[in-house]
Amino acid sequence: LGLIRIGFSCLDEEIFMNLYPVLVRPLLEYCVQVWSPYKQKYINLIEGVQRRATRLVPSLRKLSYEKRLEKLKLTMLIERRFRGDMIETYKILTGKEDIDPSRFFQLARERGDPNLVRGLKLFKKRGCGKKRRNSFSLRVVNPWNKRSKKEVQARKTSG
């Protein structure tokens, strides 16, 4: 952030939106499915970087964080992490990633149906220790299972 502040004395919304997604956000989101913070103090620290970054635009400085995000058409990082988790889950389950889904997930069975219900429901493993409780393969199960059939069986991840 310091380099942006020093290097760009006249920072408007357009210039900021050309710089921030390229220089700052990738650092905040790199491999986020692996290291995604779950403790509030770490979530706040990471969100604080985006909060400070949005204050770099002089015309937005006096607005609340939420208003700055709205003006810049940005979302909170926790929302982006959640969305990224859902997209990555979809890509793993549909074979769009070169990863065997059984390494991460156990697909659930419906009562009376001996066949796996592919991509619809995930089985949540029990008895995992504190360290694994917030790992990608466990934290996505409940939100994924709440998705509608239409969302889960979509052909693409955007639009």
pLDDT digits (tens, 9 = 90+) for 13-38: 898 999 899 989 999 888 888 888 88
Number of domains in the chain: 2
Is 136 inside any structural domain? yes
State phi, psi for 140 to the nearest 5 degrees: -90, -15
Considering the domain boundaries, does residue 159 fall inside one?
no
In this structure, the answer to whether residues 65 and 91 fall within a common structural domain is: no
Sign of the C-alpha dihedral computed for residues 106, 112, 118 and 124 taken in this order: negative
Q: Which of 19-23, 101-105, 129-133 is predicted least confidently?
A: 129-133
Do 89 and 65 sit in the same domain of this protein?
A: no
Quick one: tokens of 42? Answer: 């770490």
- Taking a C-beta distance cutoff of 8 angstroms, is the pair 11, 57 a contact? yes
Q: Are residues 87 and 141 in the same domain?
A: yes
Cα(146)–Cα(121) distance, rounded to whole angstroms? 9
Could you tell me if 85 and 142 lie in one domain?
A: yes
DSSP bridge pairs for 122: 107
142 in any annotated domain: yes
Whether residue 90 contacts residue 150, with contact meaning beta carbons closer than 8 Å, is answered with: no
Please list, in sequence order, all residues whose beta carbon lies within 8 angstroms of the beta carbon of residue 52, skipping any fewer than 6 positions away: 1
What does pTM read for this prediction? Answer: 0.79
* pLDDT of 136 strictly over 80: yes
Domain that holds residue 15: 2-74
Beta bridge partners of 107: 122
